[in-house]
Amino acid sequence: MRTQVGIVGAGPAGLLLSHLLHRHGIDSVLLETRGREQIESTIRAGVLEQRTTDLLTEAGVGDRMKAEGFVHHGFELAFEGKRRRIDLTELTGNSITVYAQHEVLKDLVAARVEANGALYFNVSHTSIDGIDTDAPSIRFTHDDAEHVLHCDFVIGCDGSQGVSRACIPAARRNDYERVFPFGWFGILVEAPPTSEELIYARHERGFALISTRSPTVQRMYFQCDPKDSAENWSDDRIWSELHARVDSADGRHITEGRIFQKNIVGMRSFVSATMQHGRLYLAGDAAHIVPPTGAKGLNLAVSDVRILSNALQAFYAESRSDLLDAYSETALKRIWRAEHFSYWMTRMMHRLDDASAFEQRLQVAELDYVTTSRAAAIAMAENYVGIATV
C-alpha cells in the first residue's frame, strides 16, 4: 500500500487531519485499533473553543454542531455558597460551544466515508518503521491479513497508550508529567439542565462540575479518590454529595434525574516536548494530556492539526519544509499555555489534601479576585476561550 501521509489513530486529531489533508488534495490512510461503533459511542466531554468551531465549520463538518451544540457565552464559578458569572463574550468577544467529542467524531467519520477516504478500523499489531528515512512505513493487521503501508510521513494520533510516541528514541524525548492525587467521578443523568451554562464549583468537600449534553441529558462530575469504585456510590449518596458542593445559599440547586452511567477517571498533566523525530510527528493525546478542568484537550488536538495540515500543504504545494521543521516549537507555545491554565484552574478549584487551612483560604481569595476584578476575569476568559499563538 502507498500513500502520502499515514495516520495512526482515529481520534479527533487523526480524523480531522485526514479530512483537512483531503481538502488540500493530499492522500492519507487512517488506521484505528477500535471499531467505528466504539469510537462513536464513547461519551466524553466536549467544550469547543471559537477557533475550533470555526475550523470545523470551514472544513464543512460543522452543520450538526451548529444545529445541536449549545453556544455558551459564559460560565459560573460557585464557591462559599454563591455563584458568580464569567461573561466570556463580553470580556473577549468569543463564546464556547458544548458539543460532545463523540459527536465531533461521528461528523468526521461520516465526512471521511462520504469522501471514500481510506479508513481502516479494528487494526492490530501496528508498528512503525523507517522514521529516520524519507520512506517510513506502517505495518498492521486488518481482517487477518498483514499489510505494509509506505508513506512520506507518519502522524501519530493514537493517544497516550499508542505505539507512536514510543517510536521516538527515549534519549531524544523530553517528557514532563504531573499526576494528581484525585480523580473525577462522572455521571450521565436523564434530566433537564440545572443551568443554562456550565457551573464550576469549589467546596471544602471537593470540586464539582455541572455540564449539559442535550435538553434531556446532563453530565456531572465531582472530585473523588481515583482508586475508589463507582460501585461504592449509590444514587442517593451521589446526589447528596453534588447538592452539598453545588447548591447555593440563595436556593438554587442542581436538578436530579435517573443516573444511567457512572465512571471514575484519573487526572494528570503530560507533555512530550519532542513532538517530531525524522518523518514522525505526534498530535493530540499522543503528545500531551491536560486535566479536564480547563476544557483544553480536544481544542489542543485541533490546534496541533491546524499547524500540521498547513505545514504538510506547504510541503506538497510549495516544496517547503520550514513549517514542518518548526512544528514542535510552534505547537508547544499553545500547549504550554493551555497546560498552565488547566493546572491553575485545577489547583484553584479542587480540594488539595496537602493544603493547609491558610492555603485553602488563598483559593477562596483567588476565586473572589477573578470574579470581582475585570482584569483578572479577562485573563481567565481569554485562556478559557483559547489564546491564539499561531
CB-CB contact of 272 with 252 (8 Å):
no
- Would you call 350 a catalytic residue per the annotation? no
Judge whether residue 212 has pLDDT over 90.
Answer: no
Exactly one of 221, 281, 327, 384 is catalytic; name it.
Answer: 384
Judge whether residue 257 has pLDDT over 70.
Answer: yes
Exactly one of 22, 72, 203, 288 is catalytic; name it.
Answer: 72
Percent of the chain with pLDDT over 70: 99
Residues 6+ apart with CB under 8 A from 17: 5, 7, 28, 155, 157, 283, 305, 308, 309
Judge whether residue 43 has pLDDT over 80.
Answer: no
> Using 50, 70 and 90 to split pLDDT, how confident is the model at 341?
very high
> Using 50, 70 and 90 to split pLDDT, how confident is the model at 390?
low
pLDDT 10s digits, 60-81: 999 999 999 999 999 999 999 9
- Would you call 296 a catalytic residue per the annotation? yes
Exactly one of 200, 221, 281, 327 is catalytic; name it.
Answer: 200
The residue type found at 151 is C
Fold of 5-71+97-176+269-344: FAD/NAD(P)-binding domain (3.50.50)
| Structure letter (DSSP) for residue 111 | H
Exactly one of 281, 296, 327, 350 is catalytic; name it.
Answer: 296
pTM as predicted: 0.93
Buried b (16+ CB within 10 A) or exposed e, 277-286: bbbbbbbbbb
Per-residue confidence (pLDDT) for residue 387, from 0 to 100: 81
Mean pLDDT over residues 306-310, rounded?
97
User: In CATH terms, are 5-71+97-176+269-344 and 180-267+352-385 the same topology?
Assistant: no
The closest of 302, 325, 324, 327 to 313, measured between CA atoms, is: 324
Per-residue confidence (pLDDT) for residue 42, from 0 to 100: 76
Mean pLDDT over residues 218-239, rounded?
96
pLDDT 10s digits, 99-133: 989 999 999 999 999 999 999 999 999 999 999 99
| Element containing residue 209 per DSSP (H, E) | strand 208-212
Residues 6+ apart with CB under 8 A from 283: 13, 14, 17, 155, 156, 157, 275, 301, 304, 305, 308
CB-CB contact of 209 with 88 (8 Å):
no
Per-residue confidence (pLDDT) for residue 389, from 0 to 100: 63
Judge whether residue 44 has pLDDT over 80.
Answer: no
Per-residue confidence (pLDDT) for residue 366, from 0 to 100: 97
> Using 50, 70 and 90 to split pLDDT, how confident is the model at 40?
confident
Q: Which three cell numbers stand for residue 214?
A: 442535550
Exactly one of 19, 136, 292, 327 is catalytic; name it.
Answer: 292
| Alpha-carbon span 42 to 38, nearest angstrom | 6
Per-residue confidence (pLDDT) for residue 41, from 0 to 100: 80
What is the architecture of the domain spanning 180-267+352-385? Answer: 2-Layer Sandwich (3.30)
Buried b (16+ CB within 10 A) or exposed e, 334-369: bbebbbebbbbbbbbbbbbeeeeeeeeeebeebbbe
Domain regions of the chain by residue span: 5-71+97-176+269-344, 180-267+352-385
Judge whether residue 18 has pLDDT over 70.
Answer: yes
Mean pLDDT over residues 205-223, rounded?
93
CB-CB contact of 11 with 31 (8 Å):
no
Buried b (16+ CB within 10 A) or exposed e, 41-74: eebbbbbbbbbbbebbeebebbeebeeebbebbb
